[in-house]
Structure 1
């Protein structure tokens, strides 16, 4: 499970939403991923940081992932393709708790 940080996946996922995901076995990765899947990946430029994005396309062992809110998403358009060993999981369900989604001013 991981928590969404920021607005890059709006309107699908909001800041604070929880994403429950299934771990990916990299030996069978192409069998479970298709265009449009929401994936969890290690950030290619920030150690120990997970990102939640949508799979746009795949080429051999590389994956192009983007946020649904394209104007406010840092994704493969900025850092390039993700290598298959950086993919952690595929989203299975989401949990939105209003109290977790409040901004710092309480709104």
Structure 2
């Protein structure tokens, strides 16, 4: 199943250097498949920054190179000839650069800032609820997972 992203309504209160509202460049993406496990699970929401600069190790939302109407979530591993090498954190899922090669810069849509873990599936016990509450919001970046370049 694909990951999808949806944008928030535009806000124009704060302006960046290009005259665009900073809040209009913030959105949400929902994870729908296990390609980023264990870092992200299906049902997790991502707070993303559209058009942000990407660094190796960042989690990004991008257009699938063969299906431009499909948005996917992957980790930017590094620059290669032709663009960014992106991979999922789950080595068993190959819907990434191992399958389609480097991704051109113009297909990168957003960089993830925060993960909001879904409360779905947790047991209604004090221990489970506290465990979820302590891990529900987590910043994402190059060090959100022990990163290994390949």
CA drift of 1:98 comes to 2.2
- Over the aligned positions, Cα root-mean-square deviation in angstroms equals 1.8
Q: Which runs of 5+ in 1 are unaligned?
A: 26-31, 103-107
Unpaired segments ≥5 residues, structure 2: 1-27, 123-150
Question: TM-score if structure 1 supplies the norm length?
Answer: 0.80
Return the alpha-carbon distance in structure 1 between the equivalents of residues 51 and 66 of structure 2. Answer: 21
Q: Distance in 2 between matches of 1:6 and 1:45?
A: 18
SS of match in other structure, 1:85: helix
Q: How many Å separate the matches in 2 of 1:79 and 1:61? A: 12
Q: For residue 69 of structure 2, what is the aligned residue in structure 1?
A: 48
| Equivalent pair of 2:81/2:102 in contact (CA under 8 Å) | no
Q: Are residues 1:79 and 2:106 paired?
A: no
State the 4+ residue runs in structure 1 displaced beyond 2 angstroms: none
Matching of residues 28-107 of structure 1 within 5 Å: 32-59=53-80, 62-99=83-120
2:34/2:41 contact within 8 Å kept: yes
> TM (normalized to structure 2)?
0.58
Q: Residue in 1 aligned with 2:35?
A: 8
Say if 2:82 and 2:102, in contact at 8 Å, map to a contact too: no
Cα distance in 1 for partners of 2:54, 2:64 equals 18
Greater strand proportion: 1
Deviation at 1:60, TM superposition (A): 6.1
